[in-house]
Chains A and B, each alone.
Chain A
Amino acid sequence: EVQLEQSGAEVKKPGESLRISCKGSGYNFASHWITWVRQMPGKGLEWMGRTDPHDSYASYNPSFQGHVAISADKSINTAYLQWSSLKASDTAIYYCARQSGTYWYFDLWGRGTLVTVSS
């Protein structure tokens, strides 16, 4: 089955670090960019950035540049979204999604990881 499996919900304190993951299966993981999308409580979807699993190159939405790091390890078919210092405003559901070839749409999504940041 073709799928993206995301890591489980996290509860963290402000200032803590965190890495969440997204594991692909059922397809050639290295052949498709992986994107991360944020959904804050009661809000819509926001594109954060993406990584090419082939070489772990990443590009970012300027709004998220410098606050998160996106990477991938093709040897274990896994992409990552990482924070070095969380803020309460990072509380959200984070989705990973597979980009369809060279087109800018996302044809396969994970179920999301809920990150709660609270003191």
Chain B
Amino acid sequence: QSVLTQPPSVSGAPGQRVTISCTGSSSNIGANSDVHWYQHLPGTAPKLLLYNNNNRPSGVPDRFSGSKSGSSASLAITGLQPEDEADYYCQSYDRSLGGAAFGGGTKVTV
């Protein structure tokens, strides 16, 4: 049972828009902790996709965007492309844990 809750899977056709939700609690996102997102292809190193809710590291396309409201956050992928097929994880700081809390991951199928 992950501290943050994500849907197990989402799917979309090439060019479409998909969103992934991330629900937390008053111990993490609801406590005003920032949310970060990672993209992970099995067998490779996870990659930071968005940090501090909606900031993209250099090299990440602007098709990826994030938002946060209350105890929840979401990742949106617009103009879905085949190379976006991967697992996506949300993460935030959790006060009860005293460290990072991850979501269970969402598999995006294109």
Whether B99 and A59, one on each chain, are in contact in the complex, defined by CB atoms closer than 8 angstroms, is yes
Name the one of A4, A47, A49, A106 contacting B101, with C-beta atoms under 8 angstroms: A47
Among A44, A61, A107, A112, contact of B89 (Cβ-Cβ < 8 Å): A44
Residues of A within 8 A of B47 (CB): 109
A35 touches B (CB below 8 Å) = yes
Q: Are A104 and B105 touching (Cβ within 8 A)?
A: no
A20 to chain B, nearest CB (A): 15
Interface size class of A (residues with CB under 8 A): 20 to 34
The minimal Cβ–Cβ distance linking A66 to chain B, given in whole angstroms, is 15
Tally of contacts, chain A with chain B, CB under 8 A: 72
Q: Chain A: residues with CB nearer than 8 A to chain B?
A: 4, 35, 37, 43-47, 49-50, 59-62, 95, 97, 100, 103-112
Main secondary structure of the interface of A (DSSP, over half): strand
Q: Is the CB of A95 within 8 A of B100?
A: no
Q: Are A47 and B100 CB-contacts (below 8 A) given A97-B46, A105-B91, A110-B45?
A: yes
Whether A107 and B51, one on each chain, are in contact in the complex, defined by CB atoms closer than 8 angstroms, is yes
- Contact between chains at B103 and A44 (CB < 8 Å): yes
Q: Residues of B contacting A60 with CB < 8 Å?
A: 99
The residue of chain A having its C-beta at the shortest distance from the C-beta of B104 within the complex is A44
Question: Which chain A residue has the least Cβ–Cβ distance from B93?
Answer: A104
Partner of A47, one of B45, B46, B97: B97
Instruction: State whether A61 touches B99 (Cβ < 8 A).
Output: yes
A45 CA to B34 CA, complexed, in Å: 18
- The contact string, 1 if C-beta is below 8 Å from chain A, for chain B 80-104, is 0000000001011100011111111
